[in-house]
A and B are shown apart, each in its own frame.
Chain A
Amino acid sequence: MSTIVLLLITGLGLGALYFLVASGLSLIYGLMGVLNFAHGSFLTIGAFIGWEVARRLSDGSWLALVAAMLTGAVVGALVAAATEFFLIRRLYNRHIEQVLVTVGLALASVALFEGIWGTDPTYVTSPSWLGQTTEILGARIPNNRFMLILVAVLVLVAIVLFLKFTRYGLIIRAGVENRLMVTALGIDVRRAFTLVFAIGGAAAGLGGVLASIYYGYVSAHIGGSLLIFAFIVTVIGGLGSLAGAAIASVLVAVLQQFANFYLGGTGDLAVVLALAAVLLLRPRGLLGAKA
């Protein structure tokens, strides 16, 4: 029983990380039809800058952690908005070029990060409570998992409230359904594009700081490795569906944890098989719109 509880809660923690990356990917694809392979770079830059802020303030304090998370989110948002404004905006409806540019940016940014921060992982220090465990039903759960889950839930609620109750949220929801019709109502949908990139970048940058706590280090490749699973989550959840991304994040991460424990470390394989099954049985994903 304690093992199952442990796997479930650690799975939820990992799912929280996947969601922070996948939510932006899903919104960006849903509204703009852009598969953003540079999304991992927003996460990595958020993690690195967040870590730089934390260690300059007072490494290991809660204040430093909060400052790092805010910084990571802001940096992620700014870099993502700049990417949309300077690179992607000229390439809407040119999907091959979008892939080339975002893949190129992802590769170049990894090289840039390695040039600045080196190729070795940089180990981070977080508040001591996060390194301790809490016992639940006999399972000793690392405390940082609780924080990951809490932050992801807060981000999900914030995004849902934004989409539901703001004018731009309304534009984004409509744009996901029919972008051209939104422009035909006299709305400059490009502003919504930039905003969605910024929101996605903020979630990814915040996720970067949290990923550095989850793994205990920051590296130039941290975004890329999470991006692969975020793409899988986005496809399984249904491209463009925030709720689908949330559900699929949890399913994928929990499946991964259980397969790793019970099936001899085959978590990644299980996730890929789950992706294949969804593509075969329900190509639009769990909550994706019909083509």
Chain B
Amino acid sequence: MSTNLSTNILTVRNLYGRIEGQQVVEDVSFDVPDTGVTALLGRNGVGKTSTIKSILGLIDRTGEVTLAGRRVDRLATHKVVQLGVGYVPEDREVFGKLTVAENLKLAERSAHPNRALVEELFPDLVQRQAQMAGTLSGGQQQMVSLARALLNQNRLLLVDEPTKGLSPKIVTEVSQALLAAAKKVPILLVEQNLQVIRQLADRVVVLSGGRVVFTGEATELLDDPERIQRFLGVHSGTDHSGTDHSSTEQVPA
């Protein structure tokens, strides 16, 4: 859990993003502490994925983005990543015509990648080194996508809907991998599954209409059904066993 002693690894101020001339991120400002998981939430289409892409410079953007005290909003995407940002995109985006080993090798940015961590978290990938990534299941592809980000010594992970379209068993595995990763590196997480958010997130930032409408501790939002309904458009329910039955639509932002 983040504490008040933590500083911010990422600061976003007045961020605007455009795709083909259309405004998809509007005046977004928030901070990501240098520990734990910060969840970026909101209804479908509010610009969560676009915000992540704006931070990375994958779409046209203006505003201030500061990573570990350094302005990065004028840097090309590859330079932002080289400063220590791992990216796990929505829909995995593995290279289907490359093998698992080639996907991972491509992602290695240093001479000493953290292969041991990846092999520990995703032993299945070790067995599938020579398999074309395009022939993997959705869950296995997500593991490749996560592994690419975890191979490097990053200062921050940007993880976009990692459980989207996955079976409950794989969702659990992905959540556990993220939980393990969060002990080593702060994560900015876009996620639709409230159960996963409850399990992982320390803080939440809620977007609506392209703007930030709520920032706070995760429990402030998750324990308040009225806020969940207002900000996310879903009901949050917890049964007597403590199981959270909340969910939001799985349509990508």
Contact = CB atoms under 8 A, between A and B. Distances in A.
A170 B148 contact: no
15 contacts: A171-B106, A173-B98, A174-B95, A177-B97, A178-B93, A181-B95, A182-B106, A183-B76, A184-B56, A184-B77, A184-B89, A185-B81, A186-B152, A187-B106, A188-B76
A213 to B, nearest CB: 36
Contacts of A184: 56, 58, 77-78, 81, 87, 89
A188 B75 CA distance: 12
Interface in A138-192: 170-171, 173-174, 177-178, 180-189
Interface of B: 56, 58, 76-78, 81-82, 87, 89, 93, 95-98, 102, 105-107, 109, 148, 152
A184 B103 CA distance: 13
Contacts, number: 54
A171 B109 CA distance: 13
A185 B148 CA distance: 8
Contact of B58 (A170, A174, A177, A180): A180
Contacts of A170: 98, 102, 105-106
B96 A177 contact: yes
Nearest to B134: A177
Interface of A: 170-171, 173-174, 177-178, 180-189
A189 B76 CA distance: 11
A186 B78 contact: yes
A188 B136 CA distance: 27
Contacts of A187: 78, 106
Contacts of A171: 106
B58 A185 contact: no
Contacts of B106: 170-171, 174, 182, 185, 187
Contacts of B97: 173, 177
A186 B82 contact: yes
Contact of A189 (B58, B78, B152): B78
A181 B76 contact: no
Contact of A174 (B78, B82, B89, B98): B98
B95 A188 contact: no
Nearest to B85: A186
Given A170-B102, A180-B58, A181-B89, A186 B95 contact: no
A181 B78 CA distance: 10
Contacts of B109: 185-186
B148 to A, nearest CB: 7
A162 B13 CA distance: 44
Nearest to A175: B95
B232 to A, nearest CB: 27
Contacts of B107: 185
A33 to B, nearest CB: 16
A178 B97 CA distance: 11
